Amino acid sequence: MSLRGTGQGGPLARAVEAFSVLSDAGFIDFGFLRSFVAGTKKFGTTGAAGFHAQALRDPSHISIIDDAGPLSAGDLDRQTNAIARALTEAGVKAGDGVGLFARNHRGFVQAQMALDKLGANTLLLNTGFAGPQLKEVCEREGTRVLLYDEEFRPIVEAGMPELTRFLTHHTTDWPEPTLEQLIESHDGAEVDAPAKPGRMTILTSGTTGTPKGAQREAKSQGLDSLIGLFGRIPLRVGMRNFDVAPTFHSWGGLHLLMGGILGQTIILRRRFDPEDTLATIDRERPEGLVVVPVMMQRILELGDDVIRKYDTSSLRMVAASGSALPGELALRWMNTFGDNVYNLYGSTEVAHASIAMPDELRSAPGTAGRPPRGVVVRLFDEHGKEVPQGQTGRIFVGNPNSFDGYTGGGNKEIIDGLMSSGDVGHFDENGLLFVDGRDDDMIVSGGENVFPREVEDLLANHDDVVEAAVVGVPDPEFGQRLRGFVVLKEGATVDEPGLKEYVKTNLARYKVPREIVFLDTLPRNPTGKILKRKLTD
């Protein structure tokens, strides 16, 4: 079965829809459009273009609020001009590979903007890396210069000590130049545009091995793509958006990019803390909150007494992505904070595939929603034939913003011009997409096919369970058997037989885990994805 985003009517209907969506988003404004065109004409579709446009439009506009306080658009533009000049003086030029190894703060934004202005090829590094991973990825990507936070010095020294280095954040004095020193020692006047925009390389999650580099050229988002996003997620010009998701990852990075383009005020915190997140919402009054699902879970775990201490009524959009959003978690969140959850399903490679809106999450918990305008989703079997509605198939996506291939060579499988997301799923009778799991996660036990997601969601819905994961392990009789890993709530009374009986009551017998292991926490990467290879090992 296939599903295509809205906006497929005649030219007049499509034009009316486009005008309505862009008007609601605040795009239909001459001053905004003039600065937007000037920014993208100079720096392409990059973060630098959006924040430069903000400075052209209103230098006093607050672009960033982080742990160090507010930063205006004019100051940000001048500072990144100075950093770009300093990096040029240090030998960095257009097309050079530069790594950015930093958390969510103004230094990340300043570094990325300066590299955009140079036309450098930026590699966004996972803040969860150890020395060997950093070395492997930097050598593979040809990285010779690194902009990094001081806290990662031991990792850099263990992995790539020979890199030319600059500090993006520090609390003590080090011999390497800091961004503040580069800003103070160089001219902040406007810089010339690079001959060609640089490339951004985002690393895959690496849940099944070493992260791959997914490269993207700076290219136009396309009108259909913008209309599709704005039509299903209430991103608006000038809004305050609290980006809690890691900015080195595609989800947090997308909102940083869109925040620049839309003239928003982006709120950042170096580290995620559940209660500090609520306190920041109370104090700064953002309309949007950008998270990965595990962050929603951690906030809800604070309990009603703590949550009620803070006023979160400013939120009208909680945008979640980066890992699966269990239906039970979405409902608990909306029952606590209101119907404001927008769940985007996609991947680093295919970009966005579908978006679930609050009413869809209410009526069909666990759904990944529908493809937005400009996106096509089709489901194929192992032979490349489309599957009927209701049947599980491999998810393939047509999106103009899909990646340009892995830096080490290779690509995702493509059928009829659509790219594999690496997942399997099905459409229900209402055309809503459900993701059943990874296409390589399927467990074959005694001849029966089991996708762990269904069992995991059921276990997570138990009153005594915080979260759960299910993997397949070798079995001499059945080929594979299911093993569950469960984190219990404080004071829980359920035991292994009780959870097995719970699964048996709700699912087929062959979907009951043969054993259930209780853990304090599940292993996750910095974007919240469960590292199942660690559980399997």
Return the amino acid letter for 285.
R
Q: Is the pLDDT of residue 97 over 70?
A: yes
Write the single-letter amino acid at 107: G
The pLDDT assigned to 442 comes to 78
Mean pLDDT of 281-310: 96
Whole-number pLDDT of residue 447: 74
378 backbone dihedrals φ, ψ, rounded to 5°? -130, 150
Confidence at residue 532, expressed as pLDDT on a 0 to 100 scale: 86
399 — pLDDT class (breaks 50, 70, 90): confident
When pLDDT is averaged across residues 119-126 and rounded to a whole number, the result is 94
Residue-level pLDDT at 436: 87
Per the prediction, the chain carries an average pLDDT of: 90
The answer to whether 242 and 290 are in contact (CB under 8 A) is: yes
pLDDT digits (tens, 9 = 90+) for 191-225: 999 988 888 888 876 554 567 777 666 555 567 77
Domain with CATH 3.40.50.980 in the chain: 67-218
Fold of the domain built from segment(s) 67-218? Rossmann fold (3.40.50)
* Residue intervals in the chain for CATH 3.30.300.30: 443-536
pLDDT of residue 259: 95
User: Does pLDDT of 110 surpass 90?
Assistant: yes
CA distance 230 to 496: 45
Architecture of the CATH domain 443-536: 2-Layer Sandwich (3.30)
Determine the Cα–Cα distance for residues 346 and 354; give it in Å rounded to an integer.
7
Cα–Cα distance measured from residue 122 to residue 96, given in angstroms and rounded to the nearest whole number: 8
Whether pLDDT at 16 is above 90: no
Phi, psi of 183 (to 5 degrees): -65, -45
- Whole-angstrom Cα distance, residue 167 to residue 495? 50
pLDDT in tens, 462-510: 999 999 999 988 888 778 889 999 999 999 999 999 999 999 999 888 8
- Say what the pLDDT of residue 6 is: 60
Each residue of 217-264: pLDDT tens digit?
655 556 777 888 889 999 999 999 999 999 999 899 999 999 999 999
DSSP assignment letter at 141: H
Which residues does residue 467 pair with via DSSP β-bridges, in sequence order?
Answer: 487
What is the reported pLDDT for 209? 54
pLDDT tens column, 403-413? 777 776 667 88
pLDDT digits 0-9 by tens, 510-522: 899 999 999 999 9
Q: How far apart are the first and last CA of the chain?
A: 36
Q: What confidence tens digit (pLDDT) does each residue in 18-61 have? A: 888 888 888 888 889 999 899 999 998 888 999 999 999 999 99
- Give the model's confidence band at 459: pLDDT under 50 very low, under 70 low, under 90 confident, else very high: very high
HEC sequence for 420-444: EEEEEEEECCCCCEEEEEECCCCEE
Q: From CA 372, how far away is CA 141, in angstroms rounded?
A: 33
